[in-house]
A and B are shown apart, each in its own frame.
Chain A
Amino acid sequence: MIHARSLTKTFATGRAQPVQAVRGIDLDIAPGELVAVLGPNGAGKTTTMRMLTTLIPPTSGTATVAGYDVVGDSAEVRRRIGYVGQGNGGGHTQRARDELYTQALVYGLSRREARRRTDELLEVLGLRELAARKVSELSGGQRRRLDVAIGLVHAPRLLFLDEPSTGLDPHNRANLWQHIATMRSSHDMTIVLTTHYLDEADDMAERVIVVDHGRVIADDTPDALKSHLAGDRIGLTAPDAAAAARTAELVSHGPGAREVAVHGTVVTARVTDGPRALPGLLAAARESGIDIAAAHVDRPTLDDVFLALTGRSLREETAPKPAAELAPLPGKDA
């Protein structure tokens, strides 16, 4: 569905140094895949997507999307893809229904077909009651659903979603994803989305492509990325600080242990296989006369994957590391 080779994009910025937003991306996406492109702000996610959707020409490299070259046959590409950008697609002075209807006409549907398709999508995306509202009068979540409806009017086989859920509360995000999943199963669609919500990429995508500094640095299923690149995090609670220091010493001699740290009485470390490592560590602690009060194993997150790949956390770019691993990440992409 998508084949990109050595795709690059350099933006001239006047007097300043040119910005190399994308530095050589190779990408192959097969029909039916649901792929999340994950990376920090300014990693080149949006620029890549804008090249694949024919909005901007690549500086070098080639890409075929839905069977056509993005530069030479951009009109053919545009006919076959759906695109939901970061902004709101609906004009603010337009009524929700009118924008869907217009979009249907744009893709060559007859007036009758366009009306039918408009009604269907309003129904499916829960916008029927809002059909006569102006876009400016819709809430953020409602506008986003309209954006997705607009992107789906012509039942594209390939849908690009650029940060579809940014700015939505968890309820609206879940709601939007439910709609997208429904549409995907009924339309046999390939979906490529960018996101910086780690949990979203983790839950929704079947394949995650991690991008940093304009390059692909990892590409696999979320589970494979996590097992191969990050490893589990274990935590042991010792009875006091002195015991914790001794526990840390024991842990650091354990198989494959790294990133050993002590916070008060809690010792944390990363190990390749947490569930298997834990019994041995507990036995070793008992032999040394330490009564471990609590122990836990956390599966890694995609943030751990990114950390392992780059030495940086995805989260620290926009927010201090939240206490809860599933806290949504605020902020906007560049």
Chain B
Amino acid sequence: MTTPTPAQAAPRPAPADRTTRRGASAPLRDTWIVMTRELRPVLRDPFSLVFSLVQPLVFLGLFGPLLAGSLGGEQVLGGNVWQWFVPAILVMTTLFGTATTGSNLLYEFQTGAHERMLVTPLSRSSLLVGRSLKEVLPLIGQALIVIVVMIPFGFRADVLGAALGLALLAVLGVGLGSLSYGLATAVRKQDWMFWVVHQTLIFPLMILSGMLLPLDSGPRWMQIAATANPLAYVVEAERALFAGDFSSPAILWGWVAALATAALGLALGVRLMNRSAD
């Protein structure tokens, strides 16, 4: 190649060949770049950040008293109603927060931002994994706020259990986020399908997890259907973890369900992402 002539206003060319910089750590670095890119608008917009962090509290403040009232007081379901309800709200926040996240990617399909990323050396899988990992931060933030706000109302959290509970939420969030991105990738040419599938799935997933009302009072078929819902296991595990009931087998099943969701979501999402250019 010839040496470029320097023009006054023009930038100097960057060093020509950067391949030497991209060693074995490239996929990790790529994932980190994608994740921080996704987080930047979240952190740069404090108003919507605060708003989204406070949202679960609104739901808790409106639905909690109704639940307590309909169950006949705060001391129900084997203890304070908040011990039963708050861990479930954390799972619900995770579900609603991460299940819609694919719409952001859908938008980038339309604008051309995703296409631009596909022509860069970023690994295809990092484009999915980086996005999915980004879900963890807002949802942990939301969970911490809910926990702190509910303590004056009588909610008690075991410290180790809460830490494990948050980690469990993070794993579930990565899984659900990946599935949402995978869905967005799959329906990118009929984008309205995203919301059809989303709306069709989200309420059965929510109600059949026993997060809002106990499934024990429901008909038998609902209880059977719930055994196929990974969220049901995670909700039970969160309740056991926040109560510090480490001997409960529900914790193990919750982790199995969350890890399986994450593994499925990532595998499916990466597969779809690899073919997302045409």
Contact = CB atoms under 8 A, between A and B. Distances in A.
Q: Which of B11, B19, B30, B112 has its CB near the most chain A CB atoms (within 10 A)? A: B11
Contacts of A94: 37, 40-41, 113
Q: Which of B30, B44, B111, B278 has its CB near the most chain A CB atoms (within 10 A)? A: B111
B112 A106 contact: no
A186 B10 contact: yes
B14 A79 contact: no
B4 A187 contact: yes
A107 B121 contact: yes
Contact of A186 (B11, B33, B44): B11
Contact of A157 (B1, B21, B33): B1
A315 interface: no
Indicate the size class of the contact surface on chain A: 35 or more
Binding site of B, secondary structure by majority: helix, strand, loop or mixed? loop
B224 interface: no
Given A124-B9, A183-B10, A186-B7, A89 B122 contact: no
A78 B11 contact: no
A103 B122 CA distance: 10
Contact of B119 (A83, A92, A121, A123): A83
Interface in A15-47: 31
B40 A89 contact: no
Interface string A161-195: 00000000000000000000011011110000000
A108 B18 contact: yes
Interface string A91-107: 11111001000110111
Contacts, number: 134
Given A55-B277, A81-B119, A155 B112 contact: no
B199 interface: no
A186 B119 contact: no
A87 interface: yes
A150 B19 contact: no
Given A53-B119, A188-B1, A91 B7 contact: no
B14 A185 contact: no
Contacts of B13: 155, 186-188
A182 B37 contact: no
B217 interface: no
B120 A103 contact: yes
Interface in A52-91: 53-56, 75-76, 78-79, 81, 83, 85-91
Given A107-B18, A113-B14, A155-B14, A85 B112 contact: yes
B115 A186 contact: no
Given A85-B116, A98-B40, A103-B120, A56 B278 contact: yes
A61 B112 CA distance: 27
Given A83-B116, A87-B111, A108-B21, A78 B278 contact: no
A180 to B, nearest CB: 11
Contacts of A155: 11, 13-14, 16
B278 A182 contact: no
Interface string B16-36: 101101100000001001001
Contacts of B22: 79, 108
Nearest to A113: B14
B4 A186 contact: yes
A78 B119 contact: yes
Contacts of B9: 123-124, 182
A191 to B, nearest CB: 14
26 contacts: A31-B1, A50-B277, A79-B121, A85-B119, A87-B113, A87-B115, A90-B111, A94-B37, A94-B40, A94-B41, A106-B121, A106-B122, A108-B121, A117-B11, A124-B11, A150-B116, A154-B14, A155-B13, A183-B10, A185-B4, A185-B7, A185-B10, A186-B5, A186-B10, A186-B11, A187-B4
Top 6 nearest A-B pairs (CB, nearest first) are: A87-B112, A186-B10, A89-B116, A120-B11, A155-B13, A108-B21
